[in-house]
Amino acid sequence: MYFGKEESKKDERVPPNQVVTKKWPVLHYGNVPYYQDLGEWDLRLFGHVEEEIRLTYEEVMEIPIVRLQNDIHCVTGWSRLDNQWEGISTKEIFKKVKLLPEVNYVLIHAEEDWTTNLPIEDFFKESSLLAHTHDGKPLTPEHGFPLRAVIPHLYFWKSAKWIRGIEFIVENKPGFWEKNGYHMHGRPWKEERFSWD
Ligand SMILES: Nc1nc2c(c(=O)[nH]1)N[C@H]1C(S)=C(S)[C@@H](COP(=O)(O)O)O[C@H]1N2
Ligand SMILES: [Mo]
């Protein structure tokens, strides 16, 4: 009998110093927005782009849906496996806006001026999406309704809830938690938790 490989594969599924939870904790700074209607809601694609784009909620919902399953890893130490997301691939955002060649980073803007920064390759990775549905149900307000980023290969603080804008930038710029000591990149397998890691 041979156990070795399967066992080590299982271990490798969860990044170092993370504990798997079946529950889905709610974590954020600031207030949960409770939208009465989405008439005023928009998603701005701006920064170093040929022309700024503003997508209404209807326009976002017309974009073809992608379904992706992944594991999420919060920097506070919990991981949740096999999340099923529906939303739009970040590749669809790439099709909507013409980026200027000097763009290297993305700053995701959420309600209440909350932001998070990441390299452009991470944002446009195959597994990155802007989600509206989790495990078959629409996102609750607490988890990011109507639209949140899901960047599963980075610590979950990069997955902004209540997103309102994607800014394409040249020089890297810290977002909300990054200004408060969290890592500029945040790769769980390298345990990039804090800027001094
Ligand atoms: N807009 C916004 N998005 C946010 C945050 C926040 O404070 N504001 N917190 C981040 C952090 S630290 C985590 S761990 C995840 C938590 O998402 P959840 O509450 O759906 O589990 O959201 C991320 N997205
Ligand atoms: Mo977090």
CB atoms within 10 A of CB 46: 16
Q: What is the SS3 assignment for 163? A: strand
Structure confidence by residue, pLDDT tens digits, 94-107: 999 999 999 999 99
Structure confidence by residue, pLDDT tens digits, 15-63: 999 999 999 999 999 999 999 999 999 999 999 999 999 999 999 999 9
* Ligand 2 mean position, distance from CA 5 (Å): 31
- Domain map of the chain by residue range? 41-190
Residues 54, 41: Cα–Cα separation, whole Å: 10
CATH number of 41-190: 3.90.420.10
Q: Is the CB of 28 under 6 A from ligand 1?
A: yes
CB 25 within 8 A of CB 73: no
pLDDT over 60 (residue 5):
no
Q: What is the pLDDT of residue 7?
A: 46
What letter would DSSP give residue 113?
G
Q: Which of 29, 19, 54 is nearest to 157 (CA)?
A: 29
Q: Tell me the best of 79, 159, 194 to mutate to test the pocket of ligand 1, counting ligand atoms within 8 Å of each CB and taking the most.
A: 159
Q: Is the CB of 143 under 6 A from ligand 1?
A: yes
Q: Is the CB of 77 under 6 A from ligand 1?
A: no
Burial of 191 per CB tally in 10 Å (0-12, 13-18, 19+)? middle
Q: Which of 187, 190, 165, 159 is nearest to 41 (CA)?
A: 165
Q: Is the CB of 160 under 6 A from ligand 1?
A: yes
What number of CA atoms fall less than 13 Å from residue 149's CA on the CB side? 34
